[in-house]
Amino acid sequence: MEAVRVKALRCPACGGNLELDQQNPNIETCQQCQAKYTIQWNRSSETGQEEALLKPLPKRIAYEPVPEVKKKKSGWEPYGWKRGVALVIAFFVIMGAMYGPKIYQRYQMDHGGAAVEETVEDEAR
Ligand SMILES: [Zn+2]
Looking at the fold, whether 53 and 80 belong to one and the same domain comes out as no
Residue 78 shares a structural domain with residue 107: yes
Distance 30 CA to ligand 1 centre (A): 5
Residue 43: per-residue pLDDT = 80
Provide the pLDDT for residue 27.
86
Same domain, 79 and 46: no
**Rounded percentage of the chain residues whose pLDDT exceeds 70:** 78
In a domain, 66, yes or no: no
- Give 67 Cα–ligand 1 centroid separation in angstroms: 24
Q: Is the pTM of this model over 0.85?
A: no
For residue 125, the enclosing domain spans: 73-125
Same domain, 44 and 85: no
Q: How many distinct structural domains can be found in the chain?
A: 2
Q: Does any domain span residue 114?
A: yes
Å from CA of 47 to ligand 1 middle: 27
Q: How confident is the model at residue 87 (pLDDT cuts 50, 70, 90)?
A: very high
Cβ-Cβ contacts under 8 Å for 82 (sequence gap 6 or more): 74, 75, 76
